[in-house]
Structure 1
Amino acid sequence: MQLSGLAPGDWVTVQARFTPQAAFLVAADGRTRTYAEGEQRITRLARALRQLGIGRGDRVALLAVDSPEYVEVLLACMKLGATYVALNFRLSPAEIRTVLAASGAQVIFHSARYQEIVDGCRLRDAIQFESGYEEFLAGGPDGGELPAVTNDDDILSISFTSGTTGTPKGVLQSQRMIKAITQSGVLELGLRPGDLIYSGAPLFHAAGFGHVLYGVARGGASVIMPQWDADLALSWLGSGRVRHATLVPSMIIQLLEHPELAEADFSGLRSIMYGGAPMPTSVVRRMADVFGCDLHNGFGAGTEAGGQLVLRPEDHRRALAGDEWLLGTIGRPAFGCDVRLLDPDGAEVPDGAVGVIASRGDTVMSGYLDRPDLTARAVRDGWFVAGDLAWKDQEGFLHLAGRADEMIIRGGENVYPVEIEDVLGGHAAVAEIAVVGEPDPHWGQVVTAVVALRDGHGTPSAAEVKEHCRGRLASYKVPQRIVVVANFPRNPAGKIDKLRLRELLAEGRIS
């Protein structure tokens, strides 16, 4: 399918015209909706919304767990040129109300479990998925195809960032941006018509609905589960039906440690995309052994700039054949993305020097909602600058050095947590790790490693840690403290929330 010149709001229409009986959405219990059924329902829903007064530029919010009906709302908005605001249900009620008010949405679709929150908001209309959705949809008049009325400059989505480093910001995502991200994803993953896709990210997250759009653009189908569930995910991935999955490291570790792993059939899997947090080399090797499929490591500011970098399957095969250092990189630019590493003055740094990652292309956002000041700081002459630090080797692979706001300064030396996480993550006892700086009266900051242990392993001693790091890390980078936790605080994407982790350490709530 040619994406340029074709609005995302028309993608289901095109698939329904040529492959009406092909699977479109598959619920967790296996119920399948075809493209013909999806087109009929989305078009009717769009007409029902139009009767409600929703049109181009109007904002429609969603506060719900994932479902096929959630997807229908998003795609109906795309037809009308309405802007959807997919809210993070993991925020507190007060935070949700604040974000919802900032979005300017007057209509909301929501799950019953969030009824009390919705009741406390000033909204013109509220449609509950469980009790009011089908009746609302049925009120839309019949008719033929309903062409999308959008152009590439239209803002189709306002996506609020997870807020792990401050107040959530409303990211303005244009039709051009959504089309470009979809095209890049389809090409990088090599998706084919009829492929069944699963993403562990929720639909309010860029990787959640983004993967549904990959499937729609290519004529594939998506498995939609209400929320992440390791048992359900294993049953689907091990069913032989799913061709591609996208998962964060914590999800992969849960699957690899699942007691029923040996009974799963992964022969249908062609590829897995992972990312969002450092992945120990030992886990990548086990993924290759257990799943037996192509591996992609994706890196990027998905909400604001899509996928920026990718370590491709051929890079993984080379790494597992001997060049293991490649697994410590975040790859090279993804399709349609240009990347530079900049110093504090905005000049490009030489190979080997650490700089902030900047990217440009159609995948970059249009800006932040009502925040021209933040937009001007983040997007400079078309280049998006997020604050992620990296250095480039002579083969063009980028090595993540962390985030500028996570860098630890110990006795005047810059320490990049990701380097330590990569080394200690390979320790036999460590399942997951996050390295942070803690205040110290002598050094300014010291290195602390917070770890979750593998079953059957005890906390590594200081001597063990030093021995494991010997020859791989400078002495000042070796953690002075190891803290064991059962569970990490996480943001909505499943990433470890280091801001909250530092707060818990400072409050003495973990030690």
Structure 2
Amino acid sequence: MHQENRGELLPKAVRIALGAAGRDVSAHALRQAVAGQVVLITGASSGIGAATARRVATAGGTVLLVARSVGSLQALRDEIQDAGGRAHVHPADLRDLEQVDRLVAEVLAQHGRVDVIVSCAGLSIRRWVSQSYDRFHDIERSNAVNVLGPSRLILGLLPSMRERGSGHIVNVSTVGANLPGVQWSAYVSSKTGFDNWLRGVSPEIRADGVTTSTIYMMLVRTAMLGESRSWRYLPGMSADEAAGMVARSIVERPRVIGAWWGRTAAPALMLTPEVVERSLAAYAKVANPASARSGLLGTLVGAAGRGAAFADDAVGAALTVAGTGAVRPLRPDRPVRALLAARRHGASPATTGAVGAALWGGRSAVVDDRGTLTYDELQRTATDLAAALHDRTGLGPGRRLALMCRNHRGFLQAALAGAQLGADLVPLNTDFAGPQLGAVLAREGVDVVVHDEEFGPLFDSTDFGGQRVLAWQDGGPDALGGETVDGLIAAGASLPRAPLPGQPGRSILLTSGTTGTPKGAPRNVSLGAGELLAMIPAGVRTLARLRPVPHAGDPVLIAPPLYHMYGFAAAFAGLAAGSPLVLRRRFDAEDVLATIAAERVGILCVVPTMLKRIVDLPDAVRARHDTSTLRMVPCGAAPLSPQLAQEFMDKFGEKLFNGYGSTEVGGVSLATPADLRAAPGTIGRAAPGVVVRIVDDAGHEVPTGVTGRMFVGSAQLFDGYSGGGSKEMLDGLMSIGDVGHADRAGRLFIDGRDDEMIVSGGENVFPQEVEELLADHPAIADAAAVGVPDEQFGQRLVAFVVLKPGAESPGEDELKEHVRAHLARYKVPREVRVVDVLPRTSTGKIRRAQLRALLADKPTP
């Protein structure tokens, strides 16, 4: 993915004057030049080539699209034809001269002639020669693409052009051909070689009516440019603007088009070769990692590099914040009221409600199945509820309020009320069975419960003797007697004027409970000035790469349950950002799309199982709902398969983010859409203020690419399980319970759970990689794998698969062979069983104990 070119913010006229852009021609002039003409364009799958093809086809020319990528060419052809243009696909790899010869024969046979050749294909390699001692193939590849292929193509098409006495050849070169090719030696030498060849050919063929133009392109913002921080600030062009220069060369047919400074550079360099050589040597001394840099010079160079990188990130972060619309003028009294509210409640959920009311009182805060609450209404009802709970139940500091609600306003009102009183909050899993619920209530010492009516029988089945308040009644407000949230809000009680809590209460979030009764993980996040300062550099880096940019105030649809860490954190983060929270009590894939359209949702929070159901909707169903307002789709709480990530982005665009964390350590990392495209399966880079270390069994850090145990350090670490015990610690870092690795770009990957590793015949197998591979089979919708005891191997791997609707079972042997073709032999499951559905938690985690129980029952394969 190309980087943004901040220098392109300059007006085009200024960039032309600076020699950073070129003149275009009118649509009328281009139409007169190419209408009815056959124009062959190499490198047409992307960048300048694709942009040129669109321009020429719009002007009435017939474009022949040449590149290696058949899919990209077909997509461009369809786009041009849908717009009323004429385009034909001719895939060919210019490195293969036999393919070039076949291309020439095919084009002449099908189209009879070529009137204009636009040579856009190119291979750009930027590398110091000290990094190239064993990379002679870079020179071979560069010459094959930049010299031999286009030369062979022109030689094949020239005879017919000369016979007709007309034709034009456009050579898209680089301004670098006029400059010393430091770091670009393979690229510049090959481009210069073709330029010189065409310069020698040009006079001869002009005598027969065939003309040539060479365009010495300046900086063009395409994927071919690669990554460089400094280039972001140099004035340059978009691919469309570069295509305008190509259009000019077709219309005006000048011998050369280029920047004024490029034409004057060559003579100047020839006159001062020693000065130029010494200047570039000084640059290489500083910039080339292989050159010796020690002492004060090395220290200064390193500091300058880090400072420049941070400054670049700071600019990117500022642009991100500006793009969110978060910086807006406010009445002076509102920030003051918000600061006073934050001072009163501290690091507590109560702060988000109070600050939101102070800053955005009249804005929608909650949109649920009952309607809409503004920030003022949410804060007022939460305060009234807090007063009534304090008055009726004595809820306050040191006491605990449990919440067992689906996603609706009652959960938020109760959570804000409890937080205002300084009580500890205990969100309860709505999937609990009676025994689990009773055990958690007793262990956590819950005093008051706010729950939906549907969960009443569950509480009746426990020994809970505290007070209960109904948050949602399926039969309406008068269906049952007893205390209700609405009734307590209407009671008219009032809190004492002085704040009750001396310290904010804690939030006790529960673990997933996939291996037993969920554990309580209390935390009370409180950051000091030093910790906040330490987070600034990482925060700046994260903001700088955050694309696409969410917009402050965009409605946020939270599909994961609010009791889960993901849903809980998303809700209060949304309130803190001034966004309306869109909540639905039940998840339905099509209803989510309908809600996005109706509420103009900008951010959709989901877990992978929800994402899968959305992706699996028929195309006709998805087309019924306008999801164009959607800017960001954060996914988390369970592993996101590479296949699902790619499929979602292919259908909905580059909007998907993959978040990673746990109840015990909080948020750990975030993968952007660019990360997921570049490295499918990644969980991204560590979040601001988070340290991730990957170690072996002895506690030593492992090299890049090697799998090890993951340890995390941050201010979000929990205080230890409420029932006793904690996670393993290593040098102040906490075990997250996963094993994973990092790539050279610093992106993290999860390879499995350390307690799920299967040792079969002495070899280590992590179920996740087998599951992802099985799920990639065209007949498989879902997959899971577990280890079971085996007398011969210690453990054996058993896989469970769910078929896609309407798919025939591929058979156990075929699925085993599918795994064997991609993974080591010892990772092939010994058994593969087809099931109707995999047991999962409400956030999508596999319940492996239930799968092992299925094996004990010996179900039919």
The normalised TM-score by structure 1 is 0.89
The reply to whether residue 138 of structure 1 matches residue 490 of structure 2 is: yes
Once the two structures are superposed, residues 435-475 of structure 1 have per-residue CA deviations (whole angstroms, 9 ceiling, x without a partner) of 22233332222222211121221222344335433552111
- Cα distance change of structure 1 residues 295 and 150 upon mapping to structure 2, 3 Å threshold: farther
Cα distance, 1:368 vs structure 2? 1.0
Partner of 1:34: 374
Give the corresponding residue for 1:495.
Answer: 845
* Residue 577 (structure 2) pairs with residue 218 (structure 1): yes
What letter corresponds to residue 233 of structure 1 in structure 2? V
Change (3 A) 1:94 1:510: farther
Structure showing the higher helix proportion among its residues: 2
Q: Decide whether the 8 Å contact of 1:253 with 1:431 is kept in 2.
A: no
- On the 8 A contact 2:790/2:796 being kept in 1, the answer is yes
Residue matched to 2:642: 281
Question: How far is 1:252 from its partner?
Answer: 1.4
Distance, in Å, in 2 between the alignment partners of 1:140 and 1:117 is 31
Q: For 2:583 and 2:629, how far apart are their aligned partners in 1?
A: 18
In structure 1, which of residues 98, 101, 104 is the aligned counterpart of residue 439 of structure 2?
98
Deviation at 1:176, TM superposition (A): 2.8
Match of 2:768 in 1: 418
Q: CA deviation at 1:142?
A: 5.0
* 8 Å CA contact 2:593, 2:627 repeated in 1: no
Q: Distance in 1 between matches of 2:412 and 2:728?
A: 30
Alignment of 1:402-413 (within 5 A): 402-413=752-763
Distance 1:28 1:403, change over 3 A: same
Report the Cα offset of residue 379 of structure 1. Answer: 4.3
Give the distance between the partners of 1:145 and 1:232, measured in 2 at CA. 44
Q: Any conservation in 2 of the 1:240–1:265 contact (CA below 8 Å)? A: no
Aligned length: 494
Rounded Cα–Cα distance in structure 2 between residues aligned with 1:506 and 1:159: 33
In structure 2, what is the Cα distance between the partners aligned to 1:124 and 1:442? 53
Matched AA of 2:568: F
Larger Rg: 1 or 2?
Answer: 2
Structure 1 segment 230-379 matched on structure 2, within 5 A? 230-239=589-598, 241-259=600-618, 260-301=621-662, 303-316=663-676, 319=677, 323=678, 326-371=679-724, 374-375=725-726, 377-379=727-729
Bigger mean CA offset, 64-73 vs 276-285: 276-285
Structure 1 residues 393, 289: CA separation in 2 closer, same or farther (over 3 Å shift)? closer
Residue 481 of structure 1 is aligned with which of 817, 828, 831? 831
Q: Closer, same or farther in 2 for the Cα pair 1:381/1:141, shift >3 Å?
A: farther
State percent identity of aligned pairs: 35
What letter corresponds to residue 684 of structure 2 in structure 1? Answer: G
Name the counterpart of 1:391: 741
Instruction: Give CA deviations for 1:359-399 in whole Å, capped at 9, x if unaligned.
Output: 1111211111140xx22x43455422132011222222222
1:435 to 752, 772, 785: 785
1:339–1:360: 8 Å Cα contact kept in structure 2?
Answer: yes
Q: Does 1:121 align with 2:456?
A: no
- Aligned equivalents of 2:500, 2:674: Cα separation in 1: 39
SS in structure 2 at match of 1:220 = coil
The one of the two structures with greater contact order (alpha-carbon pairs below 8 A, sep at least 6) is: 1
What are the superposed Cα offsets for residues 50-109 of structure 1, whole Å, 9 maximum, x if unpaired? Answer: 223111121011223232011111011111211011111211111101110111111111
Which amino acid letter does the alignment assign opposite residue 405 of structure 2? Answer: A
Deviates most, 75-84 or 439-448: 439-448
8 Å Cα contact 2:441-2:464 kept in structure 1: no
Q: Does 1:13 align with 2:354?
A: yes
1:150 Cα deviation after fit: 5.5
Q: Deviations over 1:225-251 (max 9, x none)?
A: 113233422321344611111212221
Q: Which residue of 1 aligns with 2:172?
A: none
* CA distance in structure 1 between the aligned counterparts of 2:666 and 2:575, rounded to whole angstroms: 18
What's the secondary structure of 2:397's corresponding residue? coil
| 8 Å contact kept, 2:609–2:843 | no
Tell me the distance in 2 between the aligned counterparts of 1:143 and 1:98: 33
Amino acid at match of 1:336: G
Give the drift of 1:270. 0.5
The match for 1:453 among 797, 803, 806 is 803
TM-score (normalised: structure 2): 0.54
The one-letter code matched in structure 2 to 1:335 is: P
Q: What is the rounded CA distance, in whole Å, between the counterparts of 1:34 and 1:240 in structure 2?
A: 15
Instruction: Report the more deviating stretch, 75-84 or 115-124.
Output: 115-124
Unaligned runs of 5+ in 2: 1-325, 327-337, 478-483
Point out the structure with the larger strand share.
Answer: 1
The answer to which of 10-19 and 464-473 deviates more is 464-473
Q: 1:281 and 1:41, CA in 2 relative to 1: closer, same or farther beyond 3 A?
A: same
